[in-house]
Amino acid sequence: MTASRPDAGAPVIGLDLGGTKIAAALVAGDGAVLARHSLPTPATSGAEAVLDALAGAVRTVWAPGTTAIGVAAAGVIDPRTGTVTSATDTIRGWAGTALAAGLAARTGLPVACDNDVRAAAATELPDPHDGGNGRGVTMIYAAVGTGVGGAVAVDGRMLQGAAGIAGHLGHLPSPEADGLLCTCGATGHLEAIAAGPGITAHYTRMSGVPADRLERVAARAAGGEPHATAAVVLGAEAVGRALGGLANTLGADRVVIGGGVPRIGALYTDALDAAFAAELMAPLRKLRPVPPRGGPDAAVLGAAALPRTLPLHHPPTTTGAPRCPRLSPQP
């Protein structure tokens, strides 16, 4: 890694790596998307195959002048070491992968990487110069979907924490989740009651009626079914309380709730907002959670911004050779 940064005006390639899809974009210095490509993630073929697929995506969108690659990836990513600290089995063999080094070696370009939620969250941080007081914003970003992830920025700086794990809001103890097994192996964590599968499972526990997807529970709640309504509201309240407590702890200026679960609608967001507000100390009483500003490009744009702030991991031997010698079409 090095302190040198890509030229602010030069294009950067952003890669968003998820369990099912890789999205790639060539992003100009002003944030304009110049080229894009997406392909399926070879999730069952192992880490080397995923690195090969990422390099293939780079090759597709690359243009002369490209200075660096930013990767927003699933799993716990340590930007300092450029490795995947831990991950679920969504991508086989992903934990322990030398993501930045592997991609730099394949492409000949320097690589910065981070967790996908944190990269998207960074696009929600307002420019500190717009704030008026010169202090960066303290932000809590929650992504409530099939899990509960998140990111925390303090005074405008995104926290990475030990092993890159900062922001894992889903693994806060939650009274609503008391006794429930969490995906991390502990019991009583927020994710176990508030993630989509947690809400669905709670509905089934209360009603005895099987439900395979959150959408089904949401539809029953919209129809006035009391167990479905109770499960949705409890999940929302659990998130609201946890975030309200964190807002007090950190002195948050901005709280963003993203992910698929809030799309249930007003039943969910009203319950979350009320529970959040009930926790706030007096100086924060006007604070309310907001939806993300970013559109569908937030993850690739966040990825493309990573090389400007995070450690760059360089390819093994470039010795002043032209950039991207490895990008020529393979024989």
Residue ranges in contact with Zn ion by CB under 5 A: 171, 182, 184, 186, 189
Query: Closest approach of Cβ 126 to Zn ion, in Å?
Result: 31
The alpha carbons of the chain give a radius of gyration, in whole angstroms, of 21
Q: Are 10 and 29 in contact (CB under 8 A)?
A: yes
Query: Closest approach of Cβ 162 to Zn ion, in Å?
Result: 16
Query: Closest approach of Cβ 287 to Zn ion, in Å?
Result: 26
Query: Closest approach of Cβ 232 to Zn ion, in Å?
Result: 21
Choose among 184, 264, 257: nearest CA to 231: 264
Q: Which is nearer to Zn ion, 60 or 183 (CB)?
A: 183
Q: Which is nearer to Zn ion, 15 or 169 (CB)?
A: 169
Q: 278 to each of 22, 48, 60, 191, 261, how far by Cα in Å?
A: 40, 48, 50, 21, 21
| Cβ atoms within 10 Å of 85's Cβ, excluding its own | 17
- Distance separating alpha carbons of residues 148 and 21, to the nearest angstrom: 20
Q: Which is nearer to Zn ion, 104 or 243 (CB)?
A: 243
Q: Which is nearer to Zn ion, 182 or 233 (CB)?
A: 182
Q: 281 to each of 58, 83, 141, 142, 287, how far by Cα in Å?
A: 48, 39, 19, 20, 10
Phi first, then psi, for residue 23 (nearest 5°) are -110, 130
Q: Which is nearer to Zn ion, 198 or 262 (CB)?
A: 198
Query: Closest approach of Cβ 130 to Zn ion, in Å?
Result: 36
Q: Which is nearer to Zn ion, 35 or 165 (CB)?
A: 165
- Distance separating alpha carbons of residues 131 and 126, to the nearest angstrom: 8
Query: Closest approach of Cβ 191 to Zn ion, in Å?
Result: 6
- Distance separating alpha carbons of residues 268 and 230, to the nearest angstrom: 10
